[in-house]
Each structure stands twice: as C-alpha cells, then as structure tokens.
Amino acid sequence: MSAPRPYKLPVSVLVVIHTPALDVLLIERARQPGFWQSVTGSIDAPDEPLAATAMREVEEETGIRVGTPDVPRAALRDWHLANVYEIYPLWRERYAPGEWKNTEHVFSLEVPAGTLVRLAPREHRAQTWLPWAQAAGRCFSASNAAAIEQLPRRTARWCR
C-alpha cells in the first residue's frame, strides 16, 4: 500500500512563456481536452521561493530550462502580481479539506522564437504558439487570459 499523496499547497505560479514578438506558448491539459493554459504549478514546500517554483514548473511542463545561454535567468520576470481565486471544484480534492482559495503569482518568461518544447505527456497533450491576443482568447482561465492581455504593456516597460 502506497503512502497517501500530500495535499497541494494553495500557492501557485502562472508563467506566461513568450517570444520577443509576443507569440505565447499555450499547452492543452491532458485530462481536460480544450483547457488551454500557460505553465502553472504549486509550490512544493512553504519555503520554496516563487521564482524557483516558476523555473521548476517551466522545466517540468515544457522541458525549457531557465538559466541557460538561450534562456538566461533574467528572462524570467516576476510581475509582483498575485491573483486570488476559488479553486476549481474539479481539482479541489487535491487540497486539504477546507482549502478553497488559491493565490497565483504571475511571471513571464521570454524565450527565442523556435524554442523547442517537450511536453510532459502525463500533464499536457498539445502545444501551440499564438499571437498574444489570440492566446488570451483561447485560455480557459480568466486570470491566465488577463495576464496575457497585459503582456504588451509589461514587456514595453522592461524594454525602456
């Protein structure tokens, strides 16, 4: 008999991966066809830094490693934006009893056009790169769509 799986902590990251031209990577959930999203994931421990969570989740879900010559650590940007939302009933059993809200911290990651993506097949079944406005319209999550809609303004701020 295996040990019970620990509950997920209700603190997560959302990482909008994009090219310099603002094409955005969306990945489709394996168990929920039609649910397109950016990279997301929960912290593994209460003391795990959010940037470490973001880098870990990006690598786990897409195979993109942050901190390489092609994708330097500086390409990962913390927006210092947190969204609090009700955990979807579909996933609520993953959390401790009584947990119903999650705090999602938003990051972006700029990668070169043509960056190779290797999906984790257990989690995601398809990928696509779309111009930011189209990507926002395809997301199932309102907070994910809102983050992508902010991308042109956020990236312009960093380019000054």
Residue 91 — very low, low, confident or very high, per pLDDT cuts 50/70/90?
Answer: confident
C-alpha 156/C-alpha 77 separation (Å) is: 13
Tokens of 56: 């870990």
Q: Are 131 and 40 in contact (CB under 8 A)?
A: no
Alpha-carbon distances of 99 from 9, 33, 41, 92, 96, rounded to whole Å: 9, 26, 16, 8, 6
Residue 153 forms part of a structural domain: yes
Mean pLDDT, residues 4-21 taken together: 91
Residue 54 forms part of a structural domain: yes
10 Å CB burial of residue 127 (0-12, 13-18, 19+) is middle
Q: pLDDT digit string (tens) for 28-60?
A: 999 899 999 999 999 999 999 999 999 999 999
Residue 102's pLDDT is 93
Residue 4 forms part of a structural domain: no
C-alpha 36/C-alpha 94 separation (Å) is: 20
Percentage of the chain with pLDDT > 90? 82
Residue 116's pLDDT is 96
C-alpha 43/C-alpha 40 separation (Å) is: 10
Beta strands in the chain (DSSP E): 11-18, 23-29, 36-37, 39-42, 76-86, 101-110, 124-131
Residue 1 forms part of a structural domain: no
Residue 3 forms part of a structural domain: no
Q: Which domain holds residue 45?
A: 11-159
Residue 146 forms part of a structural domain: yes
Percentage of the chain with pLDDT > 70? 94
Residue 26 forms part of a structural domain: yes
pLDDT of 155 over the 70 cut: yes
Q: pLDDT digit string (tens) for 93-114?
A: 898 999 999 999 999 999 999 9
CATH number at residue 93: 3.90.79.10
Residue 160 — very low, low, confident or very high, per pLDDT cuts 50/70/90?
Answer: very low
Residue 91 forms part of a structural domain: yes
Q: How many domains does the chain have?
A: 1
